[in-house]
Amino acid sequence: DGGITQSPKYLFRKEGQNVTLSCEQNLNHDAMYWYRQDPGQGLRLIYYSQIVNDFQKGDIAEGYSVSREKKESFPLTVTSAQKNPTAFYLCASSRRGGGSYNEQFFGPGTRLTVL
Amino acid sequence: AQTVTQSQPEMSVQEAETVTLSCTYDTSESDYYLFWYKQPPSRQMILVIRQEAYKQQNATENRFSVNFQKAAKSFSLKISDSQLGDAAMYFCAYRRTGNQFYFGTGTSLTVIP
């Protein structure tokens, strides 16, 4: 079955440590996205990538970094520079370009807790 | 910048009744797409329904339908014959050209048995 996987489901980090969240998709989608979800704030875009080896900052990119070396993978690193990293992180993908059926597909999410 | 507003943080509905969730958006574009997503307690985001801005006909998917008012920039979701499984957070989303998506802050729907 095609879909998006995120790992791990739960992640604990000590202050001052970097941590990488995994996101893999087998939908053959060009575009991939990372969102952060906090209570009462909906989904906020961290980074997105429309094609391999290219990505753009979203609204809240500070303290985060990404890479897009393969079409299937879009890992997110939460660095120690992120002041308040405890949140639920969602990865998504979509077809590139216009068209009616160009919705986003989401992974199951990763809950990151900073201890 | 595009913004999506959901003015109802919480809503409730009796089982088998109908409920409408509101969404407004701000854009200067004429060609775009709108979506409603459902996020149940599992937190898996699920697409409920989509609407193309160039279509005047409101989209319908079984018990879910939308009221799309392009001039008013309004995109409400109507859930008919509400079921216990409809209880979830619902997010309205806007997709502009260039594949950027914008989400509202969500409406938490409670279904009362």
Q: How far is B100 from chain A (nearest CA, A)?
A: 9
Which residues on neighbouring strands pair with residue A114, listed in sequence order?
A: A13
What value does the mean pLDDT of chain B take? 94
Q: Is the pLDDT of residue A40 over 80?
A: no
What pLDDT, in 10s, does the model give residues B71-109? Answer: 999 999 999 999 999 999 999 999 987 778 999 999 999
A-B contacts (CB, under 8 Å): 55
In Å, how far is B7's CA from the nearest CA of chain A?
A: 12
* pLDDT score of B11: 97
C-alpha distance from B47 to closest chain A C-alpha (Å): 8
A26 touching B (Cβ < 8 Å) = no
Token pair 């089982």: residue: B15
pLDDT tens across A60-94, in order? 999 999 999 999 999 999 998 888 999 999 999 99
| Burial grade of B108 (CB within 10 A; 0-12, 13-18, 19 or more) | middle
Average pLDDT on A93-112 reads 85
Find which of B103, B105, B107, B108 to mutate to test the A interface (most A CBs within 10 Å of its CB). B103
Question: Which residue, among A1, A7, A34, has the nearest Cα to A111 in the 3D structure?
Answer: A7
Segment A93-101 shows an average pLDDT of 74
> What residue has token string 């590139």?
A96
3-class DSSP assignment, residue B84: helix
Partner-chain residue, chosen from B47, B100, B103, that has the shortest CB–CB distance to A43: B103
pLDDT tens for B28-81 read 888 889 999 999 999 999 999 999 998 889 999 999 999 999 999 999 999 999
B93 CB neighbours in chain A (<8 A) are 104
The pLDDT value given to residue B100: 84
Burial class (CB in 10 A: 0-12, 13-18, 19+), A39: exposed
Q: B49 Cβ partners below 8 Å, 6+ apart?
A: B35, B36, B59, B60, B61, B64, B65, B66, B77
